[in-house]
Amino acid sequence: MINRQGFTLIEVLVTLFILALGLIGFLQMDIYASQKARGTYYSSTAGLLTTEYSERMYANQIGVLNGDYDTIDTSLWDTAPTDCSENTCTPQQLAAYDQWEWMQKIKAQLPWEGDDYGYRVAVSGSGSTGELTLTARWLEVGAPDNDIASFSIDVDLLIIGVTL
């Protein structure tokens, strides 16, 4: 009987199969991690943009009390109002400019499919009661069926000298 040393073809194929399975598992984990990192990035971006908008509301207390922040003007997706960074504005004009700036930043920094922007932002509540909810939505690219994700913030406005 001859004693041969080395590996048989079957042993080599089994080893390659096991290594391939491990590599596929690693790649799937990497894809999943990058999708979650992208989702976290968009969520934090939406949070920062929405919080910035709420801070603009605090700066325009008269506009809040007049209800100028209570609804979304969808025409502002494409049409710029009076530029209040360079001109003197009324509280209503300042509210429109703040909303336009928020919407343009969301449009530029959060993914969306198509030109239908009407569903991307929402405001509910009433500034005159001191309670508003701001919502920003974006397309969760890479998620099953490209789900829509959202970030909402409840804004409780405490305006000095006003009893609500």
Give the model's pLDDT for residue 96: 94
pLDDT confidence of residue 161:
58
Residue 10, φ and ψ in degrees, nearest 5: -65, -45
- Return the pLDDT at 53: 93
Direct distance between the N- and C-terminal alpha carbons of the chain, in angstroms, rounded to an integer: 99
- Are the C-beta atoms of 95 and 68 separated by less than 8 Å? yes
Can you give the pLDDT at residue 69?
92
Identify whether the C-beta of residue 49 lies closer than 8 Å to the C-beta of residue 153.
Answer: no
Look at residue 2 in the predicted model and tell me its pLDDT.
67
Taking only the tens of pLDDT, the chain with its 164 residues reads: 666 677 788 888 999 999 999 999 989 888 888 877 888 899 999 999 999 999 999 899 899 889 999 998 888 888 889 999 899 999 999 999 999 999 999 999 998 887 777 788 999 988 878 788 999 999 887 666 768 888 898 888 766 655 55
| Spatial contact of 140 and 134, defined as CB atoms under 8 Å apart | no
Residues in the chain: 164
